[in-house]
Structure 1
Amino acid sequence: MKSNTINIEELKNKSKLYRKTIIEMIYKAKVGHPGGSLSCIDILNVLYNTRIDRSEENKDRLILSKGHVTPALFSVFMDLGYIEKSEINTFRQINSRLQGHPDRNKIKEIDANTGLLGQGLSIGVGAALAKKLKNDNDHNVYVIIGDGEMHEGQIWEALMEGAHYKLNNLIVFLDYNKLSSKGNCNEVMNLEPIHDRIKSFNWHIEEINGNDIEEILQVLEKIDSITDKPKFIIANTIKGKGVSFMENNPKWHSGGLNDEQYKKAIEELN
């Protein structure tokens, strides 16, 4: 685990940088998933910059179960030097490493191939259990899932299994922006009362503002002391966070930006 040497203002500035990179990447490709990328970027920012140390032999792992938000993942990877910044122009192009879903065969810092929604948490359960069996008690497995993804039955099977094996090294962030590709998430299939439902599966549960760097840092520090069960963090976020015409607008689940939209988005993020 990295020591938390980056101060909060640095992390906030990184989130601004990452959001601009997300917009630029999708603008140049004319395709992508801006809404969910912008909603979860603060979580990825904190995890990769304060928790996950790729240089260690045994590592913390991060499974991006909502795999369509690779613009968020790649923006962090560019900052960390895992991929070249010049590759931003190749996003979702033929033969590019930067595809619409994570591919660990192309980028070694990716911990799992994801894309079919609902499967990432099962991968996370397996990875966390493997660490237990190998007596690796110093590293965690982080999984980021989407709220629309929770409509998949496999998520609930994995929640049951994670609790059964008391995987205290498994930490799940729910990017709860309330909007899926089909519209309002809870109108498509109601998840509420989500807090009570997850708790009934015998997980430790916390609820935060998932776009607040300080709250993300605080909840991670708080749950470090939980040693008898897996941990689930409801991260209330805003879809399209940071760009006014994208915020809470289901239209921007996926799509490209024209020149005028790109200019306005960058101006707001600056």
Structure 2
Amino acid sequence: MSVTTVHAAPPRSAEDRATLVARLEEAAHRIRHHALLMGEVQGQGYIGQALGVADVLAVAYRDQLRYRPEEPEWPGRDRFLLSIGHYAIALYAALAEAGTIGVDELETYGSDGSRLPMSGMASYTPGMEISGGSLGHGLGVATGMALGLRLQGNPARVFNLLSDGELDEGSTWEAAMSCAHHGLDNVTAIVDVNALQADGPTAGVLRTEPVTDKWRAFGWHAVRVDGNDVAALVDAFDELAAHRGSPKVLICDTRVGHGVPMLASREKAHFMRVEEHEWAQARTQLDEGRAS
């Protein structure tokens, strides 16, 4: 059986790293294309977030996570928990890139009888570890799951992708405190800081900065990077994988709609409607940006 695995990997040579980064950038490009395909099925959705977080997911699924695409319930797998259920379109794209679901199935996104509902539900989709959407629950689940794995002697790791808007929730910080108290270094939180929520810019809804200092104050090993810089993400994930003694958090500054200027520049970008004639233009811009 095929296994994708990196656990505290030895240092990469410059040549190996450059080859890896190029491969991951191609994977991120395909993830963005997958997201546009699904978005076109419905004509609307959380396209901007999917485009913004594609680089993070590419590095996670094509370099860092240990899993068996053909065996989603394999006990030794690393668990990737999607707190932010509306990012499901992004995770489905990553699961297709990883081989857990077929690319052809993406065309069923959000349709009746599909295994790919618009909000992530674990009971429907292979590789979807939890049902997300009620923000603030993911890190608590990750904490309990990580404790359980430790008690079982299972070396699998738990990753939790959450949003900067999710930092508004008190339950997130309760879980952060508990995770640090128990020294759960098998937990890695990934915070997508795209500075946007349903109610407007994050800074105007509830100021969460300085985010990095807050996580460190709660006892976490925190690293902050440009979440649309694949090379920086590779280095950051490698650093976190090597860290022991406390939970880790990767804070990723991403740009909504990254890679497609016509979508990145839209004012109403949290949930966007894209007209029928605009999808081809979006794909063209994505490809042109990759080629430049």
Aligned-pair Cα RMSD in Å: 1.7
Which letter maps to 2:50? S
Compared with structure 1, are the counterparts of its residues 198 and 250 closer, same or farther at alpha carbon in structure 2 (3 Å cutoff)? farther
Q: Does 1:2 align with 2:5?
A: yes
Residue of structure 2 in register with 1:35 after alignment? 48
TM-superposition CA deviations, 1:226-265 (whole Å, max 9, x none) = 2111111111111111111222645121133112321221
Distance between the aligned counterparts of 1:123 and 1:31, measured in 2? 30
* Aligned counterparts, 1:1-270, within 5 A: 2-3=5-6, 7-55=20-68, 57-136=75-154, 138-247=155-264, 249-270=266-287
Distance between the aligned counterparts of 1:214 and 1:72, measured in 2? 20
Distance between the aligned counterparts of 2:161 and 2:265, measured in 1? 20
Which letter maps to 2:99? G
Distance between the aligned counterparts of 2:127 and 2:217, measured in 1? 34
Per the TM alignment, residue 128 of structure 1 is displaced from its structure 2 partner at its CA by 1.1
Q: Is the 8 A contact 2:79 2:159 kept in 1?
A: yes
Distance between the aligned counterparts of 1:118 and 1:264, measured in 2? 36
Distance between the aligned counterparts of 1:222 and 1:118, measured in 2? 26
Q: Name segments (4+ residues, structure 1) moved above 3 Å.
A: 3-6
Between the two proteins, what is the percent identity of the paired residues?
27
Which letter maps to 1:186? A
Q: Which ranges in structure 1 are unaligned for 5 or more consecutive residues?
A: none
TM-superposition CA deviations, 1:176-223 (whole Å, max 9, x none) = 011111111011100011122111111111111111111111111112
Distance between the aligned counterparts of 1:214 and 1:180, measured in 2? 27
Distance between the aligned counterparts of 2:148 and 2:32, measured in 1? 34
Secondary structure of the structure 2 residue equivalent to 1:167: coil
Deviates more, 1:36-45 or 1:54-63: 54-63
Secondary structure of the structure 1 residue equivalent to 2:263: coil
Q: Which ranges in structure 2 are unaligned for 5 or more consecutive residues?
A: 10-15, 69-73, 288-292
Which letter maps to 2:118? G
Which letter maps to 2:192? D
TM-score (norm 2): 0.87
TM-superposition CA deviations, 1:113-156 (whole Å, max 9, x none) = 111111111111111111111122x3211111001111111111
TM-score (norm 1): 0.94
Which letter maps to 2:52? S
How many residues in Structure 1 have an aligned counterpart in Structure 2?
269
